[in-house]
Chain A
Amino acid sequence: MSTRLLPHPLLTPALTAVWLLLNNSLAPGHLLLGALLGWLIPLFTLQFWPETVRIRQPWVLLRFLGVVLFDIVIANLAVARLILGRPSRLRPAFIEVPLALESDLAISLLANTICLTPGTVSALLSEDRRVLLVHALDAPDPAAVRDQIKSRYEAPLKAVFESC
């Protein structure tokens, strides 16, 4: 019953929040309309959302978000310093990161995180979804970058979305 009427319990509050932010108001009318939209849109777009998102350990997710926000600021200071320095001293490298994640959502979240944090951009996911090719702006030691990505970002994502 509840799964048929409310197929994605996390999408509904998110859509309602976006509607309220768009209108920039908390008036009861907007609350009601937002809740209605948040309920109807997942129902009508059901076939675009094949897998249900389930968060197993919310605290790990919150801590992960904190770590990522902190890293974004650090990463920007580091990238700014590298850009202002001499371009010929950069050592860019392509790094292959083997993936332990399997679900679409976790892989795309990992790729997004990699793009926003220290000096790396995810470039290519291999056909069998086992290897992510990452480009690093300045990597004297590619193995260290790979280990950092695996322990700092991949492990929490695996714990949140895939531990069973």
Chain B
Amino acid sequence: MLEYALSFLILAGAIFTFIGSLGLARLRDFYTRLHGPTKATTLGVGCLLIASSLYFNSQGEGISLHEVLITLFLFITAPVSAHLLAKSALHQHLPQVGDKKKPARDN
């Protein structure tokens, strides 16, 4: 039973990590590319870390919770770096995809 839960978590984590990078490689302007790594990759690595914590708990060498620390840290820092990246992209006036079709952006 535990093994199935572990396998599911590992697989889900790997798939989310892959989708995050796929979004980074595939989408067409910087602002949309930003969404993949900040959300999908963070949740993917979170799933993998929880799987690791479960795995080491099931090995019978005492409780292992320090993976939770990395998960928390990632969930706090990923939005901060995303915000800073978006800010520096706006600072550099990177083009947006929709600009060609409808050039009038409000403001």
Binding site for B on A (CB under 8 A): 18, 21-24, 72-73, 75-76, 79-80, 82-84, 87-88, 90-94, 96, 111-116, 119, 121-124, 133, 135, 137
Contacts and interface: CB of A to CB of B under 8 A. Distances in A.
Interface residues of B, dominant DSSP: helix
Contacts of A137: 32, 35
Contact of A22 (B38, B66, B78, B98): B66
Given A24-B65, A115-B83, 16 more contacts: A24-B66, A75-B39, A76-B16, A80-B16, A80-B19, A80-B40, A82-B35, A83-B27, A87-B26, A90-B97, A92-B96, A112-B80, A113-B79, A116-B39, A124-B87, A137-B32
B6 to A, nearest CB: 18
Interface residues of A, dominant DSSP: helix
Nearest to B84: A123
Interface string B60-76: 00001110110000011
Contacts of B38: 115-116, 121
Contacts of B16: 76, 80
A96 B40 contact: no
15 contacts: A24-B65, A83-B36, A87-B27, A92-B97, A94-B96, A111-B83, A113-B79, A115-B83, A116-B42, A121-B34, A123-B31, A123-B86, A123-B90, A124-B86, A133-B90
